[in-house]
């Protein structure tokens, strides 16, 4: 027996998505509907990744279709976020990379800024979102302290236009607040503000969006990684034990069962100091080998070890991160890190693609993936 698209759509009108109070068809949640004889395959698209209602709606859709189409129907239903389906404000963003650290002061923002530039230099389309709500530093690091984003009407709604510099689209809460004023927001207010930078902005097509997360493992981190389809995380640390202890906590958050964000690798910052007049002499001021140790513990790659270089701080303060200067060893180091990040992202995406292959048992009355 074969079925028609009209019959399937009419059946799915009975399936409600309770948060919006109406059915999945009227909400345009049904995507990728295909029919081959008695085999029906479709996807249900949710506004955000890890939607807690996804399994409830999927089960309801399976029961409804089975009742309406009959026992011979072989039904496969996938679930995906708007971003995965190519919809919504992040629909054209292919990969989202979170740069995180367990504690402040380890150079996380410096790594995020230079990683974004190094990725852009590979020819990729790159965005950078400064999600460090309480300590935004990207306006300074990109020389944009006095700049303000523009606005654009999209489908009758006013959207934020990211500022572009060095080939990177960028937004930061720092563009919207006074430089020397403390931001005294509770967690929910900060999370809502961050959500606006994602959902109320015109990001367009991006190969990579780099997120500079706040240090720690608070409300903002949980809200972000549970509502945005983060491809993977890059963990930044310094070699000393106190930093490594906090890195383990940050990594544990990403590995949490309700989050499950892959760790793409570890970057060890401030690994050693080498004097300009004696570059072969390395002084391990904060200890040695800590980054490799924690990478081994996490089962991921040490993406790179960055030395203490005065020029890295100077270029960041001047608004021209050092990855822009191809003549420097630091730029080469960030390029090498970017290459490894891209390779690990491609590997992760290939693994996900493999798990999405649906194999339907012709003897089964109902199949799901």
pLDDT digits (tens, 9 = 90+) for 86-137: 887 788 999 999 999 878 888 999 999 999 999 999 999 999 999 887 788 9
Nearest in space to 334 (alpha carbons), one of 180, 155, 110: 110
Q: Delimit the domains of the chain by residue range.
A: 5-86, 93-352
* pTM for the full predicted model: 0.82
Q: Rounded to an integer, what distance in angstroms lies between the CA atom of residue 335 and that of residue 142?
A: 18
| pLDDT of the residue at 93 | 92
Compute the average pLDDT of residues 338-348. Answer: 95
Where is pLDDT greater, at 32 or 359? 32
Compute the average pLDDT of residues 324-343. Answer: 95
Average pLDDT value over all residues in the chain? 87
| pLDDT of the residue at 103 | 81
Asked if 41 and 34 count as a contact pair (C-beta separation under 8 A), the reply is yes
3-state SS, one letter per residue, for the chain: CCCCHHHHHHHHCCCEECCCCEECCCCCCEEEEEEECCEEEEEEEECCCCCCCHHHHHHHHHHHHHHHHCCCCEEEEEEEECCCCCCCCCCCEEEEEEEECCCCCCCHHHHHHHHHHHHHCCCCCEEEEECCCCCCCHHHHCCCCCCCCEEEEECCEEEEECEEECCEEEEEHHHCCCCCCCCCCCHHHHHHHHHHHHHCECCCCEEEEEEECCCCCCHHHHHHHHHCCCCEEEEEECCCHHHHHHHHHHHHHHHCCCCCCCEEEEEECCCCECCCCCCCCCECCCCCCHHHHHHHHHCCCEEEECCCCHHHHHHHHHCCCHHHCCCCHHHHHHHHHHHHHHHHHHHHHHHHHHHCCCCCCCCCCCCCC
* Residue 206: pLDDT band with limits 50, 70, 90: very high
Where is pLDDT greater, at 2 or 199? 199
Compute the average pLDDT of residues 257-283. Answer: 86
| pLDDT of the residue at 364 | 40
Compute the average pLDDT of residues 225-251. Answer: 85
| pLDDT of the residue at 240 | 83
CATH 3.30.300.130 fits 5-86, yes or no: yes
Question: Lowest mean pLDDT: which of 45-59, 182-196, 227-241?
Answer: 182-196
- Contacts (Cβ under 8 Å, ≥6 apart) of 85: 31, 32, 43, 45, 91
CATH 3.40.640.10 fits 93-352, yes or no: no
pLDDT digits (tens, 9 = 90+) for 93-103: 999 999 998 78
pLDDT digits (tens, 9 = 90+) for 28-54: 999 999 999 889 999 999 877 677 889
In this prediction, what percent of the chain has a pLDDT beyond 70?
A: 91
Compute the average pLDDT of residues 162-177. Answer: 92
pLDDT at 246 over 90: no
Compute the average pLDDT of residues 208-225. Answer: 81
pLDDT at 247 over 70: yes
């Amino acid at each position: 027996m074969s079925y028609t698209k009209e019959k399937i759509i009419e059946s799915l009108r009975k399936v409600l998505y309770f948060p919006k109070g109406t059915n999945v068809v009227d909400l345009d949640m049904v995507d990728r509907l295909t029919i081959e004889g008695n085999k029906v395959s479709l996807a249900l698209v949710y506004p955000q990744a890890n939607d807690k209602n996804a399994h409830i709606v999927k089960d309801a859709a399976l029961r409804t279709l089975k009742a309406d189409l009959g026992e011979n129907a072989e039904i496969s239903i996938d679930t995906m976020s708007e971003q995965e389906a190519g919809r919504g404000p992040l629909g054209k963003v292919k990969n989202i990379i979170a740069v995180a650290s367990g504690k402040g002061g380890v150079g996380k923002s410096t790594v995020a800024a230079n990683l974004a530039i190094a990725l852009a230099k590979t020819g990729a389309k790159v965005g950078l979102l400064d999600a460090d709500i309480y300590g935004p530093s990207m306006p300074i690091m990109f020389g944009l302290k006095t700049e303000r984003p523009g606005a654009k009407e999209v489908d009758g709604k006013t959207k934020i236009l990211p500022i572009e510099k060095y080939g990177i689209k960028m937004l930061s809460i720092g563009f919207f607040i006074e430089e020397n004023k403390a931001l005294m927001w509770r967690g929910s207010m900060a999370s809502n503000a961050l959500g606006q930078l994602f959902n109320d902005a015109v990001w367009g097509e991006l190969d990579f969006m780099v997120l500079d997360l706040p240090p720690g493992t608070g409300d903002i981190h949980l809200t972000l990684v549970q509502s945005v389809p983060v491809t993977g995380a890059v963990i930044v640390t310094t070699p000393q034990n106190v930093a490594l202890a906090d890195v383990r906590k940050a990594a544990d958050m990403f590995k949490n069962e309700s989050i499950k964000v892959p760790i793409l690798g570890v970057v060890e910052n401030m690994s050693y100091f080498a004097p300009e007049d004696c570059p072969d002499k390395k002084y391990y001021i904060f200890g040695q080998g800590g980054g490799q140790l924690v990478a081994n513990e996490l089962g991921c790659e040490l993406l790179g070890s960055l030395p203490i270089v005065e020029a890295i701080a100077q270029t960041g303060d001047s608004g021209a991160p050092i990855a822009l200067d191809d003549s420097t060893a630091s730029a080469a180091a960030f390029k090498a890190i970017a290459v490894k990040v891209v390779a690990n992202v491609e590997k992760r995406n290939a693994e996900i693609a493999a798990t999405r292959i649906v194999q339907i048992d012709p003897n089964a009355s109902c199949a799901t993936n």
